[in-house]
Chain A
């Protein structure tokens, strides 16, 4: 049977690990309810967020399933009861493994449970707990602070990887040495966006209800009509403005501009700008080697930012280089425009405008980040603009996960923030087909040292540059299935 709206709303608490505790007897419930089953009307139930860490009490690996949410397509999958940390409560949940995990420590992140009547049901999914590489905080620096900019950031990249050799073999081609990320069976653009938002709020005290605007840029939004941002907002506990952007690969940086302007105008205290994509490519397209998966989120505000946005410039034109028609499954290259008149022209134009308006030149910057549709373009355009290898290399993310479309430049910026020192100046230029570029001049503040010290996992760990042992390399068949290229 198809699920309906009321069922969706009523199961939100269970899916997002929001429960109730009886103030009278301490009993915990994983549902929104009005009375304690022990104390009845005497009990007073208060809302609690259940811990996202625990230990598997009991588990089972399901190999035959049937559900309204299409779980039969996910077999084999594991379910279990998780004894939550610091709480006398066992939560039922899916464990992202195909093996027995009883007795193991797990932690929860958001995943796509299933789809009913086009509606995506997200839930916390349990995954084996690991220890991760953390950023090494820089010491010292300068006393630069204040302004409007990035208050915090968060990323999410799935663990699944596929090698270009394994793709090439299927298509009778020869492409070597490339790797890209792709979704696990419980992941999609929505879950990436949500996890990056949670990651972004992990190390600060910002009240989500003070985030006046949540923006998700993507070209693989789960819905054509209904914003991904609304799904993110509900999860993190914000209920104000929600909006989605689409501008090919630059929809992510559009949110940064919008957030900056809104905070500057004084209409909101904080904005959250997310770039997230499960990048789409026709199975036989050359993009099959590069279209990757990931997300990054930025909290934009004026309260003690870690990096200040000094200025931005944009450039756009009606250049049909790469596009996807309404209700079309895959994007197409319109022909000839991809490199020179599209990517290079727009990036150069926006970058030069910014250098001119700021009165700066390439040597004034410590990092130069450009959109990375492949491994060559960002290095080439940077060189053309006069930036050096030392400025460009620390910004590269494409080498480990491919082109994550709207998440590409945002992820690159997060990678830079993981390593930057106070006073460092960052030059950023995105590119989106269709076509346009946004360029930013950013200066890192003294707050960065503290922030780097708080982070629980480095961007390099998420990318798989560090913690390589946590990556899951898979054959083409699994990639094709998870990416939705095989239809049931």
Chain B
């Protein structure tokens, strides 16, 4: 039988404006927590992959792995480890997850039980907001020369959605209300508080129809997880979760090159590959950490991942979330078949925070904790299967993974 990949430990820093900590401090904290959680030592690690969008521009460092080695792994005599940084804009973390997953499988193919650390981090608040925004625009193409900001790109997606459907602009504001509600139960979240629908609706129009409270903020943070073969996980007697598959797919970087901008083809294809290889589909999924950098992105993801028909998500958002202010978190979506789907129990990018390179890993940390049953106040009872969905830019890259309780 094909060897499976197991996640045996997770680590996650607080997300937010962490002025007193450097990027190295954050990577160290997440990494050491993950090692501790996995109950292994740092010299048990064979390789590490770090997702990070732009340490070069944010922190002036372009030799990331060596720096991490010096700070974290070098203290162990005889340690042999090779790390590398992986970039793919906001999906850098997801790409590190994908690389780690395949490295474990490559090792298994050669009869090795490699232990891999998959991490992700971004230290964004050292720069003023204007500069940080400019650095983030490096995730887009051509349009930025013409004044297209990220809120504007997603604003155009939302604008087109409003043009093609009967959705109202404020339907999408419920997504932010729900995410904040969930985040209020997550101490690691950057915005661990509730917001009212009215407040989201009246918030500043950053790039109409994108409002400030539809948007994820700028944050610092890191997340890490340890993965190995299921065989090794069992040997270690770990409380593990199976990472069934991770798939990443690219699409054109610019929106104008796509026929239908309301379909993120990268998300759709990555999900199809994952569903096909694992044999699970949207109907089997209990929880999902989706890439809600802007509210419209969560709506499109729900469609592209197959939970709702195309251009129908808004109806279900209305049905599921319009009374969420008065409900107990975490608040689920209602699916057409009557089931419930819990999305972004962590608070999502919107409320948990979006230190871009950390996000893809942090999503997997949240799902792992939910499936292990130790997500605390926001625990979804009986969750067995979860997915993560991590997007780079406005869909130029998407990574989808499926995790399962063994």
Given known pairs A58-B160, A92-B254, the reply for A63 and B146 (CB within 8 Å) is no
**Contact residues of B: prevailing secondary structure:** helix
Contact B147 A65, beta carbon cutoff 8 Å: yes
Q: B143 an interface residue at 8 Å Cβ cutoff?
A: yes
**Which positions in B face A, CB cutoff 8 Å?**
130-131, 133-134, 137, 142-149, 151-153, 155-157, 159-160, 163, 204-210, 254-256, 261
Tell me the bound Cα distance from A123 to B148 in angstroms: 14
- Given A31-B142, A67-B134, A94-B146; A58-B207 close (CB under 8 Å): no
- The residue of chain B having its C-beta at the shortest distance from the C-beta of A29 within the complex is B257
- Interfacial residues of chain A within 45-99, with CB under 8 A of chain B in the complex: 57-69, 71-72, 74, 77, 79-81, 89-94
Question: Is B142 within 8 A of A65, CB to CB?
Answer: no
A62 contacts B145, C-beta separation under 8 Å: no
CA A263 to CA B209, docked complex, whole Å: 55
Residues on B with C-beta less than 8 A from A14 are: 142, 145
Interface string of A242-274 (1 = CB under 8 A from B): 000000000000000000000000000000000
For the complex of A and B, the 4 pairs showing the least CB-CB separation, nearest first, are A60-B155, A61-B208, A58-B160, A58-B156
Given contacts A14-B145, A30-B142, A79-B148, contact A63 B206 (CB under 8 A): yes
Q: A14-B145, A66-B130, A79-B147 are in contact. Are A58 and B204 (CB under 8 A)?
A: no
The distance in angstroms between the C-alpha atoms of A31 and B255, with both chains bound, is 15
Contact B147 A94 (CB under 8 A): yes
Cβ-defined contact, B208 with A63, below 8 A: yes
- Inter-chain CA distance A60–B205, complex, in Å, is 10
The verdict on A67 contacting B256 (CB below 8 Å), with A60-B156, A92-B142 known, is no
When C-beta atoms are compared, the residue in chain B nearest to A3 turns out to be B145
- For B208, the closest partner residue in chain A by CB is A61
A61 contacts B156, CB within 8 Å?
A: no
* Contact present for A79 and B156 (CB under 8 Å): yes
A60 touches which one: B134, B137, B152, B254 (CB < 8 A)? Answer: B152
Chain A residues, Cβ within 8 Å of B137: 66-67
Question: B163, A102: Cβ atoms under 8 Å?
Answer: yes
Sampled A-B contacts (20; CB under 8 Å): A30-B142, A58-B157, A59-B156, A59-B159, A60-B151, A60-B209, A61-B208, A62-B149, A62-B152, A62-B155, A63-B208, A64-B204, A65-B149, A66-B131, A66-B134, A71-B147, A81-B256, A91-B256, A92-B142, A103-B163
Q: Which of B142, B159, B207, B255 is the one whose CB lies under 8 Å from A62?
A: B207
B136: nearest chain-A partner, CB-CB: A66
- List residues of chain A with CB within 8 A of the CB of B157: 58
Q: A60-B210, A62-B147 are in contact. List 10 more A-B contacts (CB 8 A).
A: A15-B145, A58-B156, A58-B159, A60-B159, A63-B204, A63-B206, A63-B207, A66-B133, A67-B137, A91-B256
B179 CB → nearest A CB, Å: 21
Interface centre among A30, A58, A74, A102 (most CB of B within 10 A): A58
A31: min CB distance to chain B, Å: 7
CA distance A59 to B208 in the complex (A): 9
Which residues of chain B are within 8 angstroms of A77 by Cβ–Cβ distance? 147
Q: How far apart sit A32 and B311, CA to CA, in the bound complex (Å)? A: 35
